[in-house]
Amino acid sequence: MRVPRIFSSKALSVSTEIELDKEAGTHISRVLRMSTGQQIELFNGDGFSYFAQIQAIERNQVSVRVVEALEATNESPLNIHLFQGVSRGDKMELTLQKGVELGVTQFTPLITERCGVKLDKKRWQKKLEHWQKVIESACEQCGRNTIPALHPVIKMQAALSQFNDNSFFMHPEGKQSFKSISADTNLEIQLWVGPEGGFSDEEISWVEAHGCKPVQLGPRVLRTETAALAAVSVMNSLWGDF
């Protein structure tokens, strides 16, 4: 049986005993139906895997004792920051989930002129909390022990000040491809992807005025979720660990 891998929000260290979060405890006791003495793998985002043995199970309350800690070596050598135009339905969740698997280290959701998601401040906060869960679950699945940062939702124009010399702007009419340009892999690499319908003409003008490199991914127009994941894959192939 594969050792279950669980995210914990608590501090972890060898020889300490902790009670798992309620959601994790429910998963261990009622879904996986594990018993005392069995082993699980924990991580909390500090870069280590913690192997623990179940000490007690009472309904959805599970206590474990940490017996070993191993440092992970599976992070991408690239620091990719994805600025993603917020998309509707489960497209944004797919982008976050697969972005984690591909090694993205930071996510910033963008509100653009063509963004189809309109929420008030309270509902945006709930959205962020849900997206954080998606990121943590993706780390559980793919084995990453470092949790990618999820930044607050920001309007496109306000985000322009964050452009750097390593910024790449996805544009179907861009004159460059990734294989024709290079990136400074010692610095943060920014990838800017629009929502459904793409960036507006005004937003494209803003981006070009800031000197961001417009890049296209072949002669076909890609959906927003496809563009982000394809671009990250290409960067990993050219400059990362693929």
| pLDDT tens-digit map of 128-173 | 999 999 999 999 999 999 999 999 999 999 998 898 989 999 998 8
What pTM value is reported for the model?
0.92
Q: Average pLDDT of 171-184? A: 89
**Please, what is the average pLDDT of the chain?**
93
108/216 same-domain check = yes
Tens digits of residue pLDDT in 16-44 = 999 998 889 999 998 999 999 999 999 99
89/149 same-domain check = yes
86/39 same-domain check = no
54/145 same-domain check = no
pLDDT of residue 1: 61
- Residue 33 CB partners (closer than 8 Å, separation 6+): none
pLDDT of residue 82: 98
Tens digits of residue pLDDT in 40-75 = 999 999 999 999 999 999 887 899 999 999 998 899
| Structural domain containing residue 13 | 5-71
58/109 same-domain check = no
Q: What is the CATH number of the domain that holds 144?
A: 3.40.1280.10
131/33 same-domain check = no
29/106 same-domain check = no
Q: What is the CATH number of the domain that holds 53?
A: 2.40.240.20
SS (H, E, C) the chain: CCCCEEECCCCCCCCCEEECCHHHHHHHHHHCCCCCCCEEEEECCCCEEEEEEEEEEECCEEEEEEEEEEECCCCCCCCEEEEEECCCCCHHHHHHHHHHHHCCCEEEEEECCCCCCCCCHHHHHHHHHHHHHHHHHHHHHHCCCCCCEECCCEEHHHHHHHCCCCEEEECCCCCECHHHCCCCCCCCEEEEECCCCCCCHHHHHHHHHCCCEEECCCCCCCCHHHHHHHHHHHHHHHHCCC
151/217 same-domain check = yes
**What CA–CA distance (Å, rounded) separates 86 from 92?**
6
93/114 same-domain check = yes
41/137 same-domain check = no
56/91 same-domain check = no
Instruction: Please state the domain count of the chain.
Output: 2
